[in-house]
Amino acid sequence: MVFALLRRSFSPPAAPVMREHEVAGRRLPLRIVESDRARRLTLRIDAGGQGLRVTRPAGVSLREVERFLARHEGWLEQRLAKVPEHPVVRPGTKLPLRGVPHLIVHEPGTRGTVTVGNHDGQPALIVHGDRKHLPRRLADFLKREAKRDIEMLVEKHAAAVGRRAKAVRYKDTSSRWGSCTADGTLAFSWRIMMAPKPVIDYLVAHEVAHLREMNHGPKFWKLCGELCPRTEEAKAWLKKNGSALQAIGFG
């Protein structure tokens, strides 16, 4: 009997429930996750507004989740209104590079990958080759640019704090722009290359500062401000515009 009670007490959480939820004229994937550690219902919008996640305490019914979503419909509408709906890179649209909008121009009759140029008097990203490869080639281009810029900034800021990064990696993360592990490995989202230069500098300074201060306390923010004097401005820009960059589709 005691064994049976213990089994019920430590039973694993229910499997996530996958649904669709309509809000602000969009049908978004909804993931409902049960957590033994949750004390209340929480709602999160995935980066780029591409989905929703509700975390519920064990025992909370799906009907209560639906009521919870209904109560927060206004909040969802306000947040989603600020996020473009799944923009996809294609010829004729613009893609920012270091904060400067560049027209995407496709030249199928030439070989190569992506070059930075000028088209009708405006900055352009000229993509060569087959049309079906255009999104991937633009993503690869941003990765190469990120590697070049970020590694120089890492070297500069690491020298300033008297530390050395073990490695620098690049990812397409949906929940964070950068990270620093305890062993000194830095990781960055290559999408940051679409942000203005001061924002790129801030992101690198932020993660390098963690090589000395593995926290977000006063000493960390003081160091971050010393490395990047425009820290507050860059933080505000990323908070306002980061989701739009995450929403851009390169698939």
- Whether 86 is in a domain gets the answer no
Q: What is the CATH number of the domain that holds 141?
A: 3.30.2010.10
Which stretch of 41-45, 119-123, 247-251 has the lowest confidence by average pLDDT? 247-251
Looking at the structure, tell me whether residues 65 and 120 fall in a common domain: no
Q: Among 20, 42, 77, where does a domain finish? A: 77
Q: How far does Cα 159 stand from its chain's mean position?
A: 27
**C-alpha R_g of the chain:** 22
Record the tokens describing residue 98, joined without a space: 């270091």
Quick one: pLDDT at residue 6? Answer: 40
Record the tokens describing residue 111, joined without a space: 């070989």
Q: How many CA atoms lie within 13 A of 34 on its CB side?
A: 14
Looking at the structure, tell me whether residues 16 and 135 fall in a common domain: no
Average pLDDT, the chain: 89
Q: Among 48, 77, 106, where does a domain finish? A: 77
Arithmetic mean of pLDDT, 97-119: 91
Looking at the structure, tell me whether residues 108 and 226 fall in a common domain: yes
- Whether 87 is in a domain gets the answer no
Looking at the structure, tell me whether residues 64 and 129 fall in a common domain: no
Looking at the structure, tell me whether residues 103 and 67 fall in a common domain: no
Quick one: pLDDT at residue 247? Answer: 82
* Residues found in the chain: 251
Residues 13-51: b if buried by 16+ CB within 10 A, e if exposed:
eeeeeeeebebeebebebbbebeeebeebebebbbbbbb
CA 45, 140, 209, 232 torsion-angle sign: negative
Looking at the structure, tell me whether residues 192 and 242 fall in a common domain: yes
- Whether 115 is in a domain gets the answer yes
Arithmetic mean of pLDDT, 21-41: 87
pLDDT in tens, 172-226: 976 689 999 999 999 999 999 999 999 999 999 999 999 999 999 999 999 999 9
Record the tokens describing residue 249, joined without a space: 């589709």
47 backbone dihedrals φ, ψ, rounded to 5°: -55, 135
Q: Which domain holds residue 163?
A: 94-247
Give the residue with greater pLDDT, 2 vs 70: 70
Give the residue with greater pLDDT, 5 vs 161: 161
Quick one: pLDDT at residue 86? Answer: 62
- Whether 88 is in a domain gets the answer no
Looking at the structure, tell me whether residues 219 and 122 fall in a common domain: yes
Tally of CB atoms within 10 A around 88: 11
Is the pLDDT reported for residue 237 higher than 50? yes
**Cα(80)–Cα(44) distance, rounded to whole angstroms?**
12
Give the residue with greater pLDDT, 120 vs 26: 120
State the pTM of this model: 0.71
- Whether 56 is in a domain gets the answer yes
Q: Among 77, 103, 129, where does a domain finish? A: 77
| Interacting residues of 225 by C-beta distance below 8 A, sequence separation 6+ | 231, 232
Band (pLDDT 50/70/90 cuts) for residue 20 is: confident
C-alpha torsion angle, residues 171, 175, 178, 179 (rounded to 10): -100
Strand order in the sheet with 100-107: 94-97, 100-107, 122-128, 114-119
Looking at the structure, tell me whether residues 73 and 98 fall in a common domain: no
Looking at the structure, tell me whether residues 113 and 182 fall in a common domain: yes
DSSP secondary structure string for all residues of 102-138: EEEEEETTS-SSEEEEEETTEEEEEEES-GGGHHHHH
**Closest C-alpha among 54, 52, 74 to residue 64:** 54
Instruction: Express as a percent the part of the chain with pLDDT over 90.
Output: 65
- Whether 228 is in a domain gets the answer yes
Looking at the structure, tell me whether residues 187 and 225 fall in a common domain: yes
Amino acid identity, position 60: V
DSSP secondary structure string for all residues of 148-201: HHHHHHHHHHHHHHT---SEEEEE--SS-SEEE-TTSEEEEEGGGGGS-HHHHH
Which stretch of 49-58, 62-71, 178-187 has the lowest confidence by average pLDDT? 49-58
- Whether 83 is in a domain gets the answer no
- Whether 85 is in a domain gets the answer no
Is the pLDDT reported for residue 36 higher than 80? yes
Looking at the structure, tell me whether residues 72 and 98 fall in a common domain: no
DSSP reduced 3-state for 37 = coil
Amino acid identity, position 66: E
Quick one: pLDDT at residue 2? Answer: 41
For the chain, the domain total comes to: 2
Looking at the structure, tell me whether residues 73 and 152 fall in a common domain: no
